[in-house]
A = this chain, B = another copy of it.
Amino acid sequence: MSLTPARKFKSSRQRDLILQILRSTKSHPSAAWIFEEARKHLPSISLGTVYRNLAMLKEEGRIRELSVGKGIGLFDGDLRNHDHIRCLVCGRVEDVPPSAQSFSYSQVEGAVGYRVHWHSLEYFGVCPGCETAAANE
Contacts and interface: CB of A to CB of B under 8 A. Distances in A.
A6 B11 CA distance: 54
A117 interface: yes
Contact of A125 (B66, B85, B115): B115
Given A3-B88, A88-B3, A124 B120 contact: yes
A36 interface: no
A90 to B, nearest CB: 11
B114 A127 contact: yes
A106 to B, nearest CB: 12
Interface of A: 3, 65-71, 73, 85, 87-89, 94-97, 99, 101, 103, 105, 108-109, 111-128, 131
